[in-house]
Structure 1
Amino acid sequence: MSLRNRMTPLTVVALGAGLALAAVTPALAGTAHTAPAPAAARPAAVTTVQGDPRNVTQRVADFYGAYIDAVWDGEDPAAGADTKALRDFYLSAPARKKVAAWERENHADGILFAQNVPVKWKAAYAGSGMGHATTRVTLTWSDGKHPQVTRIDVQSDLTTRKITDLKQVR
């Protein structure tokens, strides 16, 4: 009997066992194939986030995310200390002075350029040169079909990665 003739029955048995296992395993795991669940019953998609502390645009995104979280949770006693610590860590001393001056003049938050808190934000690289990078931060203030948005250009030093300037985009 040739090797091929001896292997054929063995292959058939192995293939059959594999198919049987594939059919039984979902049932054993409690995930038998049924009709898809309605959209409302499906679990939400998992969001993944990653970062790189060397990337100034990512650092601006991290700053705005943490800052907005702290301002949003303003009733938490730690929120005020958190916003100050975030400013001290991410902003250069001249940028902190400029923000404080803007706040005194406008009676609003000089990081958000507003008196309230956005519901969403995003940060995107907008260019670089002369040792600095600019990140365009878009703040979304409402939900719905036509949400209100504002934009801020945030300049960062490429060496220190500190935010050196914030300007409202008109």
Structure 2
Amino acid sequence: MRKTIRTRFIAAGGVAAVLTLAAVTPALAGPDSGSGTRTTAAAPASQGDPRNTTARVANFYGAYIDAIWDNEDPGSAADAKALRAFYLSPALQKKVAAYEEKEHADGILFAQNVPVKWAVSYTGSGAGHSTALVTLTWNDGKNPDVTKIKVRSDLRTRKITDLAPAG
């Protein structure tokens, strides 16, 4: 009796392994497995921490770019405004508005158009502030146009307190 249960358990484990392998094999094949059919690669997993100012900067830029990218959606302008109010300090909101009035460009992106990609990296902290570098990619291809923005955040409030183009 014991041998029969053990044999069944091993057989069930083998069936599960075969089914798992069958399920993941197409994903492991990658794009264009020779059939001429392309598949899209899985995006890397995203994660965050609301206590981390660099993660908050990344969350802000991701959501803000999504909102203005979808400018045909009637709610996108309201979304962008709400994101600014939530993530930016009141003083920075005034500074951004003054920049936009003077330059006729978006004061968050320092541009008149919307990037196709963005990345945020931690660059340091001290005196109660954290700094990050936002890299905006404006087009695809071998030599895409890229701009960078220095972002300063308050460690206590986690609000973004300053933005400046990075040379």
TM range (shorter): 0.7 to 0.9
Query: What residue identity is the alignment partner of 1:31?
Result: A
Q: Which residue of 2 is the match for residue 108 of structure 1? A: 105
Trace 1:8-47 onto structure 2 (pairs within 5 A).
20-21=11-12, 23-25=14-16, 31=22, 37=29, 39-40=31-32, 44-47=41-44
TM-score by length of 2: 0.82
SS for the counterpart of 1:31 is: helix
* Pairwise CA distance, 1:49: 1.1
Q: Specify which of 77, 80, 86 is matched with residue 80 of structure 1.
A: 77
* Pairwise CA distance, 1:20: 4.6
Q: Residue deviations 1:7-43, cap 9 Å, x none? A: xxx88x8886666545544666793898975733666
Query: What residue identity is the alignment partner of 1:71?
Result: I
Is the Cα contact below 8 Å between 1:26 and 1:33 reproduced in 2?
Answer: no
* Pairwise CA distance, 1:128: 1.2
RMSD between superposed Cα atoms in Å: 3.0
Q: Which residue of 1 is the match for residue 115 of structure 2? A: 118
TM-score by length of 1: 0.81
* Pairwise CA distance, 1:44: 3.0
Is the Cα contact below 8 Å between 1:151 and 1:169 reproduced in 2?
Answer: yes
SS for the counterpart of 1:105 is: helix
Q: Is 1:162 the equivalent of 2:159?
A: yes
Query: What residue identity is the alignment partner of 1:39?
Result: P
Is the Cα contact below 8 Å between 2:31 and 2:41 reproduced in 1?
Answer: no
Q: Which residue of 1 is the match for residue 91 of structure 2? A: 94
* Pairwise CA distance, 1:74: 0.6
Q: Which residue of 2 is the match for residue 153 of structure 1? A: 150
Which residues of structure 2 form unaligned runs of 5+?
A: none
Is the Cα contact below 8 Å between 2:30 and 2:41 reproduced in 1?
Answer: no
Please give the alpha-carbon distance, in whole angstroms, between the structure 2 residues aligned to 1:102 and 1:141. Answer: 21
Query: What residue identity is the alignment partner of 1:122?
Result: A
* Pairwise CA distance, 1:45: 2.4
Give the number of aligned pairs.
161
